[in-house]
């Protein structure tokens, strides 16, 4: 008897590409079980003029030019737009001259697209967030019911009782729009948080990047050039390998068995700290007595994560 085929993993991905977003998108677009139904794009690492174009570039690179790309919020809810060009280059993809043939967004706003697609497929869609949470917060504010319609949400964001990467306390995606992150974390979503400490524990050293580049495809070459850019940034910051936070979150979304240690906690965001704005506060001991709705990933299976990147760029 033949095994029944497992149903596709239907994904919506909210993203601000970004070097590591690009790697994560390749992982999803090339994964045999995943079906990427749409990208919603937000300003983050770079402005919307670049994030849309970069999303388009990765789709074309993965022969997925038909996936819609909806442009969303061009800045955070309350704070000014905070970029990360030091980590991603002025164009968001390491200033490598990577340009799509068709640079334009699909007609329609990302927030409308999120609401329409989630409402049309209750219980079926997994949402992966790889950027500041502005689009998701706006969608939840406009249509709170969508929170209960998502199968799963995997968020790259925050630092679970670990140092931040943009301030001692805060990780970029949460710091870039703390109010939006708070709305998302308070919405009672079936949320898994993959913080910056997971990328830090799974850096990609030069030898691994070279092995990825040697896989021989155009995607492999581009992935290696992007990761080499990240490696240079990492070395300047005293780290021995390229950091790929969005890739770690995507690995968790694509295969929950990638997670080797996790806990369920109440998590909230500091929005007006004197020193700690954007910190994700994980109530690990349950001292608040509030509902523990967020799964916080503490560790992943490194070989599975790396294999997903390699599989994404193979012929």
By a kind-dependent CB cut-off of 5 to 8 A, residue 177 interacts, out of Ca ion, ligand BDR, none, with none
Please state, in angstroms and rounded to a whole number, the distance separating the CA atoms of residues 221 and 209: 10
Report the residue number, 193 or 196, with the smaller CB distance to ligand BDR.
196
Q: Least Å distance between CB 101 and ligand BDR? A: 24
List the interface residues with ligand BDR, window 37-56 (CB under 6 A).
Answer: 45
Q: Least Å distance between CB 175 and ligand BDR? A: 8
Tell me which of 23, 61, 130, 189 binds ligand BDR, using CB under 6 A. 130
Q: How far is CA 149 from the centre of its chain?
A: 20
In 3D space, the residue among 56, 62, 53 whose CA is nearest the CA of residue 219 turns out to be 62
Span from 135-143, 169-177, 227-235, 291-299 in contact with ligand BDR (CB under 6 A): 169-177
* Strand ranges across the sheet with 69-71: 69-71, 34-41, 9-15, 125-129, 152-156, 191-194, 294-300, 259-265
Report the residue number, 115 or 223, with the smaller CB distance to ligand BDR.
223
Please state, in angstroms and rounded to a whole number, the distance separating the CA atoms of residues 35 and 245: 21
- Judged by the rule CB under 5 A, the positions of this chain that interact with Ca ion are 16, 18, 21, 130-131, 246
Sign of CA dihedral 26, 28, 34, 36: negative
Which residues are within 8 A (CB) of 229 and not within 5 positions of it... i.e. 6 or more apart?
19, 89, 94, 95, 96
By a kind-dependent CB cut-off of 5 to 8 A, residue 14 interacts, out of Ca ion, ligand BDR, none, with none
Closest residue to ligand BDR, based on beta-carbon distance: 172
Whole-Å CA distances, 101 to 61, 104, 210, 262, 264? 10, 9, 27, 41, 44
Report the residue number, 115 or 193, with the smaller CB distance to ligand BDR.
193
List residues with catalytic annotation: 16
Tell me which of 11, 18, 204, 229 binds ligand BDR, using CB under 6 A. 18
Please state, in angstroms and rounded to a whole number, the distance separating the CA atoms of residues 214 and 299: 28
Paired strand residues for 297: 262
Please state, in angstroms and rounded to a whole number, the distance separating the CA atoms of residues 118 and 135: 14
List the interface residues with ligand BDR, window 172-231 (CB under 6 A).
Answer: 172-173, 196
Site track for ligand BDR across 70-109, x = CB under 6 A: --------------x--x----------------------
Which parts of this chain interact with ligand BDR (CB under 6 A)? 18, 20-21, 45, 84, 87, 130-131, 156, 165, 171-173, 196, 245-246
């Amino acid at each position: 008897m033949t095994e029944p085929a497992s149903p596709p993993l239907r994904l919506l991905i909210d993203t601000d590409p970004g070097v590591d977003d690009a790697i994560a998108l390749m992982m999803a677009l090339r994964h045999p079980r995943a079906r990427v139904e749409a990208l919603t794009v937000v300003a983050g690492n770079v402005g919307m003029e670049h994030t849309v174009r970069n999303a388009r570039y990765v789709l074309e690179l993965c022969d997925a030019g038909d996936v819609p790309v909806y442009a969303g919020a061009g800045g955070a809810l309350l704070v000014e737009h905070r970029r990360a060009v030091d980590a991603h280059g002025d164009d968001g993809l390491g200033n490598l001259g990577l340009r799509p043939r068709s640079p334009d967004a699909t007609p329609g706003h990302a927030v409308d697209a999120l609401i329409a697609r989630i409402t049309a497929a209750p219980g079926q869609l997994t949402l992966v967030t790889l950027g500041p949470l502005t689009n998701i917060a706006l969608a939840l504010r406009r249509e709170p019911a969508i929170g209960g319609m998502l199968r799963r949400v995997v968020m790259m964001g925050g630092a679970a009782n670990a140092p931040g990467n943009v301030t001692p306390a805060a990780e970029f995606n949460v710091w870039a729009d703390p109010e939006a992150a708070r709305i998302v974390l308070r919405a009672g979503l079936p949320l898994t948080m993959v913080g910056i400490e997971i990328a830090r524990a799974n850096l990609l050293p030069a030898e691994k990047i070279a092995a990825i580049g040697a896989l021989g495809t155009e995607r492999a070459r581009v992935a290696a050039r992007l990761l080499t850019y990240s490696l240079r940034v990492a070395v300047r910051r005293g780290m021995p390998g390229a950091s790929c936070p969005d890739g770690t979150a995507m690995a968790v979304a694509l295969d929950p068995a990638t997670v080797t240690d996790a806990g369920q906690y109440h998590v909230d965001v500091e929005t007006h700290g004197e020193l700690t704005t954007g910190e994700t506060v994980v109530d690990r001991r349950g001292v608040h007595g509030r509902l523990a709705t967020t799964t916080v990933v503490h560790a992943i299976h490194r070989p599975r994560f790396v294999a997903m990147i390699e599989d994404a760029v193979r012929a």
